């Protein structure tokens, strides 16, 4: 090659490189977001899910996409995470969808509805049964996009100052209980109150509450409920498989480069898996510690379970008759849940029941 031709070709190559570099840089911009959570920092499991998600995003993008997490109350109160994300006060909110059922009962779905699917079936419906797509179509009018971001598994049925043996014992019971389940319990005579996690203990200690529920042994012990309410009940029929969400401001989500969207979504999946594993690691020893310390463990009576189920079905029918969004998503969830539970009864339940008997021995 002649010298002039070589220099011309080299110059063209350098020019192309110079043009390409800014294009690559523009496709991976430096972004800093804030994520507010509905949880106090002391709950290293549930608040930890927000931290795990943020860290995973940073690592996947070489630090270009950074998310700073904030506990409940540091920017907005815990029960305003969705509103803050939708309004753009923050870019994201790590929370439970059912906290916002007052806006529309449809918010109950996704995280958990009473007598809804367990966590595996709930997750399968959300990811493979069209559940999350249906919910995100609904969330659009609140200017947010939901990503899976946590998983507590089946929760406990809460702490009570006195034993709850019959439906009559629920009459007048002042109970902290989140979301749609409160509407069910109110049909049975209870007085539900929705209070953020960090505010429950003082209310229970003062007697403003007669009972409360949160998650399970590990978190509940951290919050100290066993010190003022000795009776611990199972199961939390209102949260058979709670999934948590990261609600992302819709405009911010749409403006993200596609690979940043993917990184954020995959980080949420990782936080979901991590949280499930963390609770399964920590709840068993926490339960043993509570029992050794004097906690009295009870199973809800068949009378209470049946009455609660009946009240739930009645409430869902009532709401479905006037709320098309609720009806559509409820029907989608039930259509997916029924055959999956039939399958679980063939393989999962017999195996688990056998192993539980053996592990007790």
**Closest Cα partner for 302 from 355, 237, 350?**
237
Q: What is the pLDDT along the chain (361 residues), one digit of tens a residue?
A: 444 454 444 444 444 444 444 445 558 999 999 999 999 999 999 999 999 999 999 999 999 999 999 999 999 999 999 999 999 999 999 999 999 999 999 999 999 999 999 999 999 999 999 999 999 999 999 999 999 999 999 999 999 999 999 999 999 999 999 778 999 999 999 999 988 778 899 999 999 999 999 999 999 999 999 999 999 999 999 999 999 999 999 999 999 999 999 999 999 999 999 999 999 999 999 999 999 999 999 999 999 999 999 999 999 999 999 999 999 999 999 999 999 999 999 999 999 999 999 998 6
Say how many C-beta atoms besides its own lie within 10 A of residue 142's C-beta. Answer: 19
Is pTM beyond 0.85 here? yes
Tokens 């409430």 sit at which residue?
315
Residue 298, Cβ neighbours under 10 Å: how many? 14
In the beta sheet, which residues pair with residue 151?
Answer: 243
pLDDT at position 196 is 79
First-to-last alpha carbon distance for the chain, in angstroms, is 84
Check: CB of residue 233 under 8 Å from CB of residue 299.
yes
* Six token digits for residue 35: 């994520």
Domains along the chain with CATH numbers: 158-238+295-336 (3.40.190.10)
Report d(CA 57, CA 257) in Å as an integer. Answer: 13
Do 253 and 31 contact (CB within 8 A), yes or no?
A: no
Distant-in-sequence, close-in-space partners of 160: CB < 8 Å, separation ≥ 6:
173, 210, 211, 229, 231, 232, 233
Find where tokens 């009559």 sit: 168
Alpha helices in the chain (DSSP H): 3-27, 46-60, 81-87, 119-128, 131-139, 181-187, 200-206, 217-223, 250-255, 258-292, 302-320, 324-346, 348-360
């Amino acid at each position: 090659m002649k010298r002039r031709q070589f220099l011309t070709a080299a110059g063209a190559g350098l020019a192309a490189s110079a043009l390409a570099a800014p294009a690559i840089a523009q496709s991976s911009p430096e972004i800093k977001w804030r994520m507010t959570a509905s949880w106090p920092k002391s709950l290293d499991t549930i608040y930890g899910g927000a931290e795990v998600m943020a860290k995973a995003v940073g690592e996947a993008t070489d630090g270009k996409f950074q998310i700073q997490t904030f506990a409940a109350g540091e920017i907005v109160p815990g029960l305003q995470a969705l509103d803050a994300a939708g309004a753009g006060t923050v870019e994201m909110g790590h929370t439970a969808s059912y906290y916002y059922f007052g806006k529309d009962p449809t918010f109950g779905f996704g995280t958990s509805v009473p007598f809804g699917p367990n966590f595996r079936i709930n997750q399968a419906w959300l990811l493979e049964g069209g559940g999350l797509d249906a919910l995100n179509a609904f969330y659009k009018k609140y200017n947010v996009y939901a990503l899976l971001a946590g998983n507590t598994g089946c929760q406990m049925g809460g702490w009570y100052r006195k034993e709850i043996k019959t439906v009559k014992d629920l009459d007048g019971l002042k109970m902290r209980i989140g979301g749609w389940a409160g509407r069910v319990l109110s049909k049975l005579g209870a007085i539900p109150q929705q209070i953020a996690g960090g505010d429950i203990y003082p209310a229970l200690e003062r007697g403003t509450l007669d009972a409360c529920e949160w998650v399970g042994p590990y978190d509940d012990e951290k919050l100290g409920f066993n010190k003022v309410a000795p009776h611990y009940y199972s199961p939390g029929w209102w949260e058979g498989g709670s999934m948590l969400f990261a609600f992302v401001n819709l405009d911010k989500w749409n403006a993200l480069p596609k690979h940043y969207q993917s990184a954020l979504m995959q980080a949420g999946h990782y936080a979901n898996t991590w949280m499930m594993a963390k609770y399964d690691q920590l709840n068993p020893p926490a339960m043993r510690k509570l029992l050794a310390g004097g906690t009295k463990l009870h199973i809800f009576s068949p009378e209470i379970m049946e009455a609660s189920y009946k009240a739930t079905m009645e409430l869902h029918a009532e709401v479905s008759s006037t709320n098309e969004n609720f009806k559509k998503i409820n029907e989608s969830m039930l259509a997916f849940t029924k055959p999956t539970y039939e399958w679980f009864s063939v393989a999962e339940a017999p195996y688990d029941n056998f192993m539980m008997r053996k592990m007790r021995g």
